Amino acid sequence: MIEDGGEHYFLKSNDAKYISETLYPLLAYVLENTNIHWFQSENFPCMTKVMLSHFKNVVPYNLRRIMFLGGSYKQFKWLFNRCATDSIATIELCQPENERDFPIEEFIRIPSIGDIKTFIINGLKSPTVATRMADYCIAENVKIGTQLKLNTMVPGTFDKFISTFKNRIIRMIPDKLVEIGINSEKRIILNLDRVNNMPGFGCFELFVLSVVPPVLSKEEFEKYTKFNAGKMDYH
């Protein structure tokens, strides 16, 4: 699916020949010649193989959001390296069944990845990924305003996260919000929404990790405490 200026265009077909000869060449042309708001692919391996033979321009794609729901880290990097990274606001991923297919360690080492404002990871299966991405947000090169949104139902993820950063916790509202000190220039606000129908399991559906200034006004702090998991702002 692609979205251009508020309009949605769905490229979908079960005819492999039609896909390879018509749809993907068309998509290659669109990527090279227009500003696309949203790029989503669930069959990226097939797409990249076909599109490679159709690219003509060397100008980067102006994508605002990449929703990468299938494929490997190598294929994601192929697309990312062809984008104008200063135009990308959001990257959304699904953690694969095999973590080796999309290693977080490699992902966060991509040059210019620190310029992205919002990361969303769906289907999180490993508490380690959550803490590693949090480590990334603590890094010096991550700017104030960066957000990490993790959607998961893995028991123990939040408890593991808290134990990792327990020496840095400034304040905590149980089952709601944690404020973590980083340095004199920034802090992290972790806002979580626990799973209501699984009491005692220590897991959650969604948490949002935001890199914020070291001093927040009352209004700014309340903005984070009033987070509603059902009204996520993807833009």
205-234 pLDDT tens trace: 677 888 888 887 877 777 766 644 333 332
- What's the longest Cα–Cα distance across the chain? 59
Asked if the model's pLDDT at residue 112 lies above 50, the reply is yes
Q: What is the pLDDT of residue 207?
A: 75
Higher pLDDT, 111 or 28: 111
**Three-class secondary structure of residue 57 per DSSP:** coil
Phi first, then psi: what are they for 29, rounded to 5°? -65, -45
User: Confidence class of residue 32 from pLDDT cuts 50, 70 and 90?
Assistant: low
In one letter, which amino acid is 231? K
Higher pLDDT, 103 or 197: 103
Asked if the model's pLDDT at residue 134 lies above 80, the reply is no
Helix orientation angle between 24-33 and 44-51, rounded to the nearest 10 degrees: 70
Residue pair 73/48 in contact (Cβ under 8 Å)? The answer is no
User: Confidence class of residue 76 from pLDDT cuts 50, 70 and 90?
Assistant: confident
User: Confidence class of residue 201 from pLDDT cuts 50, 70 and 90?
Assistant: very low
Q: What is the pLDDT of residue 165?
A: 77
